């Protein structure tokens, strides 16, 4: 099948007219072998013309999860030490956000992070999660915009010091959360939907 471009298609002044110059205002536009003839309003020109879609959009299949799967999400742990905002930017480029922890089971799943990256010293720096209270001190939200309905902060945490607005998950025995300066550098974990 060969489809020639509509007359005037290379002319910027003709953009959007789909080659309908000289056609009646209510006339339909048809592409040979492409399915139904549609009126300008998008409805089939007649019941006989409703044989199929005018065109089909094809999107590439989603990339398989290169990391770990849990609860309908894909997680990838990165050993590179970056600031919280750089980690979030890298996660967005990866197709997700810094991880948002919604349940004790998800938090327990993420407890395995030290095995995914070079394990830090006991009680050393942790890994960035997506939580922050930078917009309003004490009102933590996840970087994907979801509310924080679950938290696993250490005693006396969060302590909400000046500029201490981002959450890290430590490698200590309890894998508890601490609020830290967002400019500190930590490994990070990204999450995206499967």
pLDDT, tens digit (0-9, with 9 covering 90-100), for 3-21: 444 344 444 344 333 333 3
Which has the higher per-residue pLDDT, 137 or 42?
137
For residue 119, the enclosing domain spans: 68-193
Query: Residue 113 to residues 17, 24, 81, 109: CA-CA distances in angstroms?
Result: 55, 65, 14, 8
Residue 142 belongs to some domain of the structure: yes
pLDDT band at 159 (very low <50, low <70, confident <90, very high): confident
At CA 141, angle to CA 139 and CA 145, rounded to 5? 140
Measured CA to CA, the distance from residue 94 to residue 164 in angstroms comes to: 26
Residues 81, 150 within the same domain = yes
Residues 44, 76 within the same domain = no
Measured CA to CA, the distance from residue 135 to residue 182 in angstroms comes to: 13
Instruction: Give the rounded percent of residues in the chain with a pLDDT score beyond 90.
Output: 47
Residue 14 belongs to some domain of the structure: no
Measured CA to CA, the distance from residue 50 to residue 157 in angstroms comes to: 63
- Chain center to CA of 113: 21
**Residue 47: per-residue pLDDT:** 44
pLDDT band at 161 (very low <50, low <70, confident <90, very high): confident
Arithmetic mean of pLDDT, 71-79 = 93
Arithmetic mean of pLDDT, 118-132 = 77
Residues 81, 35 within the same domain = no
Residues 134, 187 within the same domain = yes
Q: Quote the number of domains for the chain.
A: 2
Domain boundary among 36, 58, 80: 58
Residue 143 belongs to some domain of the structure: yes
Q: Which residues pair with 148 in a beta bridge?
A: none
- Please state, rounded to an integer, the average pLDDT across all residues of the chain: 75
Residues 136, 73 within the same domain = yes
pLDDT band at 122 (very low <50, low <70, confident <90, very high): low
Measured CA to CA, the distance from residue 179 to residue 131 in angstroms comes to: 9
Residues 109, 173 within the same domain = yes
Question: Cβ of 158: how many Cβ atoms within 10 Å?
Answer: 21
**Residue 118: per-residue pLDDT:** 67
Residues 54, 127 within the same domain = no
Residues 41, 104 within the same domain = no
CATH number at residue 136: 3.10.100.10
Measured CA to CA, the distance from residue 148 to residue 169 in angstroms comes to: 15
Residue 169 belongs to some domain of the structure: yes
Whether the pLDDT of residue 75 is over 90: the answer is yes
Q: Of the segments 58-67, 110-119, 183-192, which one has the largest average pLDDT value?
A: 183-192
Q: Pinpoint the alpha helices (H) of the chain.
A: 84-94, 104-110, 113-116
Which has the higher per-residue pLDDT, 104 or 36?
104
Residues 145, 84 within the same domain = yes
Query: Nearest 10 degrees: CA dihedral of 104, 111, 99, 158?
Result: 70
Residues 122, 44 within the same domain = no
Residues 51, 111 within the same domain = no
Residue 121 belongs to some domain of the structure: yes
Whether the pLDDT of residue 24 is over 50: the answer is no
Question: Cβ of 173: how many Cβ atoms within 10 Å?
Answer: 8
Residue 133 belongs to some domain of the structure: yes
């Amino acid at each position: 099948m060969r489809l020639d471009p509509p007359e005037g298609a290379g002319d910027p002044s003709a953009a959007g007219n789909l080659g309908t110059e000289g056609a009646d205002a209510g006339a339909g536009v048809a592409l040979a072998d492409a399915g139904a003839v549609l009126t300008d309003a998008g409805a089939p020109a007649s019941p006989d013309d409703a044989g199929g879609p005018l065109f089909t959009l094809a999107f590439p299949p989603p990339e398989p999860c290169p990391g770990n799967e849990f609860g309908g999400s894909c997680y990838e742990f990165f050993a590179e030490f970056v600031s919280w905002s750089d980690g979030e930017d890298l996660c967005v480029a990866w197709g997700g956000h810094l991880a948002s922890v919604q349940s004790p089971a998800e938090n327990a799943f993420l407890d395995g992070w030290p095995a995914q990256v070079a394990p830090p010293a006991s009680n050393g720096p942790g890994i960035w999660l997506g939580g922050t209270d930078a917009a309003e001190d004490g009102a933590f939200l996840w970087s994907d915009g979801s509310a924080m309905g679950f938290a696993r902060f250490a005693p006396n945490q969060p302590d909400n010091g000046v500029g201490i607005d981002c959450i890290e998950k430590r490698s200590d025995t309890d894998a508890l959360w601490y609020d830290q300066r967002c400019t500190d550098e930590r490994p990070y974990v990204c999450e995206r939907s499967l």
